[in-house]
Amino acid sequence: MEKLNKAERHARGLFKTQRWYNTRWRVCLHLEDKLRRLARETRKYRFTRVGKSGLVSFVSFEDFSKDTNTACLAAYLAARMGRRSIFTSGKQDRAFDRMSAMLLARCERYKFTTRWDVLAQIMPDPLVIRRLSDEQRGILLGQWWAILADMASLLHEISSLGGVDLKTMVVTRGVDSTTWNTTASGWDQARAHWLSLVHALGLETILDEICPGKVMRLMAADVVQWHKATNDAALTRVSGQSFRSHGKSSRARQNAPDRPSSTPATSPA
């Protein structure tokens, strides 16, 4: 927002004093900055919701409330997927549990009233996607690709500022790791949905030309060392068990009595 001089102000009908204009110009400048930050945070929040529960957060209430079984499964899965992650070096608890399987079975039982297009917003499962029409699959494919392109621009914006080591993915001072990690989570979710739709539409040939890869999270150096030590210990433990079992089986074969041959020995002439 450029500041106007006296002649430009008079040309636009602003005949007040310089102080009057400067006060209002600063207010507009601050509002413009707030609007820019609000748009960026809204964009980041959308990526956070996509990373947690896909596009189901943006489904209208009319579509959501048309079928009870669909609403129950979508709401339950969204709640399970929206839980906070556990700080661990192991695997996270899966969102799809026995209750989800029971609700999905009810949707299959009443498949003619189930809103499969709503469930496809949160479940990139072949069982759900194959019940969509080609038009619905194409619309979803375009939506997910647009989200991937928007996320890629934000990730490129963060990486262009410097400080992101793409080899080690260890966070350094001054890098917005929170925005990177939330966007990376949304990217992997959108990528999974997009690939499922590509396979459902039989468009696997386009993967030879373009296949978006996963985006790694930024981690603190001490957390990276913790994961490395945990994985090395697990690998050593598994290797040791395999070596011991191999040694036991070898000694057992050596100490086992000779088994009779299946073919009778021929007597000498």
Please list the pLDDT of the chain residue by residue as tens digits (269 residues): 678 777 877 787 877 888 888 888 889 999 999 999 999 999 999 998 898 888 888 888 898 889 999 999 999 998 888 877 766 656 667 778 899 999 999 999 998 999 999 999 988 888 898 899 889 988 998 999 999 999 999 988 888 887 777 777 777 777 788 888 889 989 998 998 899 888 888 888 888 888 888 888 887 766 667 767 776 655 455 455 544 444 444 444 455 444 444 344 443 43
pTM of the shown model:
0.71
Query: Which helix H or strand E contains 213, and what residues bound it?
Result: none
Put residue 33 in one of left, alpha, beta given phi > 0 → left and psi -120 to 50 → alpha.
Answer: alpha
